[in-house]
């Protein structure tokens, strides 16, 4: 059944993009419990297997029914474009207890046996303790599962936002919607999301909409967020196919001979715009070394750069794309 989000005159002016480390954390937790998602993230799953085994994620999984409501308070839409995990988890811990209890009750009602389970009764009987423990589990999951990979994930998500922000300026909201996902449609000032659970209608009423790319939700669109939270649409991020691929695995030998192996790896790692820190993490190099190679590549006309927030993003020029895309000689 579809979701319908009705826009007023001012809502399009209040649409914004955001990146959320808390969202990726809770979706990573959900992914561990959803075998159908594993094929997209096998290298990551192999790396975090031992760390994941050391965290009891069952209380979070209990509130993540396959079909139905998931608590909004565990991952409210971020207030800014690039919130830190610490800022977001502080918001979770500050959730009013009655709001948290109602949110958990809705999720437990959609989980077979959830309301009657000992864990479910304990959550509803002591929501203050439940909020503390759930926030603590999310923080453990962030530290063990996502934080070590965050430079790589953040680079891809911010590159997606940069790309779609340009598309919004070039083509307008209606065209953008169709490019974000085939699950999204736009007609008569209404954003429709198909393939979701339930039939939901919400009038935005001047709040606008938060658009968030996600790696771990891929390839699905997620929406919801009841008042008091701003409505949000989480859509599949671009470039996930190369997310877990190491740069050296995609660098042609001929290009390495021309530019040098490390410099060629830097060029080939820029499938999407990225900053120095993210590239250094992906390549396993010192940021100072990556910065020097980026400067040389930009000076040679293979890269261009632009500022996004507090960092500089680099991306290939047409010449750089042509060089990085050359097939291996037979």
Residues 139-184 pLDDT 10s: 999 999 999 999 889 888 988 898 898 888 888 898 898 889 989 9
Are residue 218 and residue 289 in the same domain, yes or no? no
Single residue among 207, 236, 265 that ends a domain in this structure: 236
> Domain for residue 256, yes or no?
yes
Write the CA distances from 68 to 141, 160, 226, 295, integer angstroms.
Answer: 23, 28, 14, 50
Task: Choose the final residue of a domain: 236, 253, 288.
Answer: 236
Helix (H, G, I), strand (E, B) or coil at 16: strand
Q: Are residues 122 and 181 in the same domain?
A: yes
pLDDT at 142: 98
- Same domain assignment for residues 193 and 320: no
pLDDT of 119? 95
Q: Residue 330: inside a domain, yes or no?
A: no
pLDDT of residue 197: 63
The answer to whether residues 142 and 17 belong to one domain is: yes
Asked whether the predicted pLDDT for residue 82 surpasses 90, the reply is: no
Q: How confident is residue 76, by pLDDT bands cut at 50, 70 and 90?
A: confident
Q: Flag the least confident range among 50-59, 72-81, 92-101.
A: 72-81
Q: Name the helix (H) or strand (E) containing 223.
A: strand 222-224
Are 164 and 227 in a shared domain?
Answer: yes
Residue 144 and residue 12 share a domain: yes
Instruction: Tell me the range of 53-67, 68-82, 193-207, 294-308 where mean pLDDT is highest.
Output: 53-67
Q: Is residue 147 part of a domain?
A: yes
Using one digit for the tens of pLDDT, what is the confidence trace for 283-293? 888 889 999 99
CA-based nearest residue to 197, from 213, 183, 214, 187: 183
Neighbouring CB atoms inside 10 A of 247's CB total 21
- Of the candidates 153, 126, 151, 122, the residue with the CA atom closest to the CA atom of residue 28: 153
Shared domain check, 251 and 230: no
pLDDT band at 201 (very low <50, low <70, confident <90, very high): confident
Are 197 and 251 found together in one domain? no
Backbone phi, psi, residue 306, to 5°: -155, 155
296-306 burial, b at 16+ Cβ within 10 Å, e below that, comes to: ebeeeebbeee
Confidence check: pLDDT of 39 > 70: yes
Same domain for 69 and 213?
yes
Say if residue 248's pLDDT is above 60.
no
pLDDT in the model for residue 1: 60
pLDDT class for 9, splitting at 50, 70, 90? confident
> Does residue 262 sit in the same domain as residue 209?
no
The reply to whether 196 falls in a domain is yes
Q: What's the average model confidence in pLDDT over 205-212?
A: 91
Q: What is the mean pLDDT of residues 180-205?
A: 85
- What is the mean pLDDT of the segment spanning 50-73? 92
DSSP state of 148: G
In a domain, 128, yes or no: yes
Domain end residue (candidates: 201, 236, 271): 236
CATH number of 263's domain: 1.10.10.10
Three-state DSSP class for residue 314: strand
User: Are 261 and 190 in a shared domain?
Assistant: no
The mean predicted confidence, pLDDT, of the chain is 88
Report the predicted TM-score, pTM, of the whole model to 2 decimal places.
Answer: 0.78
Domain, as residue range, for 256 = 245-324
Q: At 311, is the pLDDT very low, low, confident or very high (cuts 50, 70, 90)? A: confident
For residue 329, tell me if it sits in a domain: no
**Which residues are paired to 312 by β-bridges?**
307
Using only C-alpha atoms, the chain has a radius of gyration, in whole angstroms, of 21
215 domain residue, yes or no: yes
Neighbours of 273 (CB within 10 A): 25
**Closest C-alpha among 237, 36, 1, 25 to residue 137:** 25
The pLDDT of residue 247 is 58
What strands lie across the sheet with 184-187, from one edge to the other? 184-187, 190-193, 3-6, 200-203
In the predicted structure, residue 236 carries a pLDDT above the cut 80: yes
Counted domains in the chain: 2
Domain-located, residue 203: yes
- Say yes or no: 179 and 253 in one domain: no
**What whole-number distance in Å separates Cα of residue 308 and Cα of residue 3?**
32
């Amino acid at each position: 059944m579809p979701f319908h989000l009705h826009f007023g005159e001012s809502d399009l002016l209040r649409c914004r993009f955001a990146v959320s480390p808390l969202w990726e954390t809770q979706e990573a937790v959900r992914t561990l419990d959803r075998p159908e998602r594993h094929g997209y993230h096998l290298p990551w799953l192999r790396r975090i297997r031992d760390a994941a085994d050391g965290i009891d994620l069952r209380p979070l999984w209990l509130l993540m029914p396959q079909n139905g409501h998931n608590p909004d308070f565990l991952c409210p839409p971020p207030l800014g474009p690039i919130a830190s995990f610490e800022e977001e988890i502080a918001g979770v811990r500050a959730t009013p207890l009655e709001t948290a209890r109602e949110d958990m009750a809705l999720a437990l009602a959609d989980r077979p046996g959830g309301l009657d389970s000992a864990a479910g009764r304990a959550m509803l009987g002591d929501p203050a303790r439940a909020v503390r423990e759930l926030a603590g589990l999310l923080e453990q999951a962030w530290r063990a599962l996502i934080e070590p990979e965050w430079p790589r994930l953040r680079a891809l998500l911010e590159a997606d936002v940069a790309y779609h922000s340009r598309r919004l300026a070039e083509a307008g909201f209606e065209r953008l919607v169709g490019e974000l996902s085939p699950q999204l449609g736009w007609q008569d000032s209404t954003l429709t999301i198909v393939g979701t659970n339930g039939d939901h209608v919400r009038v935005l009423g001047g709040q606008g909409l938060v658009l968030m790319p996600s790696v771990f939700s891929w390839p699905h669109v997620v929406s919801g967020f009841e008042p008091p939270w701003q409505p949000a649409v989480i859509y599949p991020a671009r470039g996930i196919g190369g997310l877990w691929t190491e740069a050296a695995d995609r660098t042609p030998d001929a290009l390495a001979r021309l530019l040098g192996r490390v410099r060629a790896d830097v060029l080939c790692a820029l499938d999407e715009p990225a900053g120095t820190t993210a590239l250094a993490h992906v390549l396993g190099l010192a940021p100072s070394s990556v910065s020097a190679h980026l400067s040389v590549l930009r000076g040679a006309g293979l890269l261009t750069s632009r500022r996004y927030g507090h960092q500089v993003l680099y991306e290939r020029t047409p010449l750089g794309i042509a060089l990085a895309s050359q097939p291996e000689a037979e």
